[in-house]
Chains A and B, each alone.
Chain A
Amino acid sequence: DVKVTQSSRYLVKRTGEKVFLECVQDMDHENMFWYRQDPGLGLRLIYFSYDVKMKEKGDIPEGYSVSREKKERFSLILESASTNQTSMYLCASSLTRGGGKTEAFFGQGTRLTVV
């Protein structure tokens, strides 16, 4: 089974801190994603990566950056955390196409609170 692991389930950080959310997948997937989940808004795409060192902005990239130095690892960085970034963050991975495996596989989520 595909496994997507996020480094923390819960995280509390202070305003202005630099925050790293880490995600690792073990199925050699090309694509990795970071979503933010808020009540009433569903999942909104922050960034995704389709290859090592490649990244594309999603719908809400402001205040975030990402890093993908190895195929299995995709990091989300909050350069200077703010209270409006308090949210649930979900990492996902997927194959580029085909083989019937076209869906995304998700990690268990990180609930980040910025105080």
Chain B
Amino acid sequence: AQTVTQSQPEMSVQEAETVTLSCTYDTSESDYYLFWYKQPPSRQMILVIRQEAYKQQNATENRFSVNFQKAAKSFSLKISDSQLGDAAMYFCAYRRYNNNDMRFGAGTRLTVKP
């Protein structure tokens, strides 16, 4: 079974600074999708960014970008110019291309200090 590992249970960042959240995964597949989800205190899971494994270019969404290293099976999330509203649990997730279910990591709790 595929596994997703987030090795940082908690991270903190100063407002306006940059922070990187780590994620590694284990798979024997060549085609798959990777995601970062944000879960604020409201509990609503929100998609932050997605990456298709066949794309070499790293995905970017405004202040959020990823560093996708396929050979190393690494998928980190960089948050630039951190804002107080970025404080949340962040989950890394993996989905195989021809499969329907997603696998999640244990999550990283991000605190943003004013």
A65 to B45, CA, bound (A): 24
Nearest residue in A to B95 (C-beta to C-beta)? A102
Q: How many A-B residue pairs have CB under 8 A?
A: 55
Contact (A45, B103) CB under 8 Å given A59-B1, A103-B35: yes
Residues of B within 8 A of A41 (CB): 106
Residues of B within 8 A of A94 (CB): 100, 102
Residues of A within 8 A of B4 (CB): 42
Question: B100–A50 contact, CB under 8 A?
Answer: yes
Residues of B within 8 A of A92 (CB): 45, 102
Say which size band chain B's interface belongs to: 20 to 34
A109 to chain B, nearest CB (A): 4
Residues of A within 8 A of B43 (CB): 88, 108-109
8 Å CB interface, A55-113 against B: 56, 58-59, 88, 90, 92, 94, 96-97, 102-104, 106, 108-109
Residues of A within 8 A of B68 (CB): none
Nearest residue in B to A38 (C-beta to C-beta)? B106
Residues of B within 8 A of A56 (CB): 101
Say which size band chain A's interface belongs to: 20 to 34
A40 to B9, CA, bound (A): 8
Question: A48–B101 contact, CB under 8 A?
Answer: yes
A50 to B100, CA, bound (A): 7
B68 to chain A, nearest CB (A): 15
Residues of A within 8 A of B1 (CB): 59
Query: Does B28 interact with chain A (Cβ within 8 Å)?
Result: no
Query: Does B91 interact with chain A (Cβ within 8 Å)?
Result: yes
8 Å CB interface, A1-32 against B: 30-31
Query: Does B42 interact with chain A (Cβ within 8 Å)?
Result: yes
| Residues of B near any A CB (own CB < 8 A) | 1, 4, 6, 9, 33, 35, 37, 42-45, 47, 50, 52, 91, 93, 95, 97-98, 100-107
Known: A102-B50, A103-B47. 20 other contacts (CB 8 A): A30-B100, A31-B101, A33-B101, A40-B9, A42-B6, A42-B105, A42-B107, A43-B91, A43-B104, A44-B104, A45-B101, A48-B101, A50-B100, A90-B45, A94-B100, A94-B102, A102-B52, A104-B93, A104-B102, A106-B37
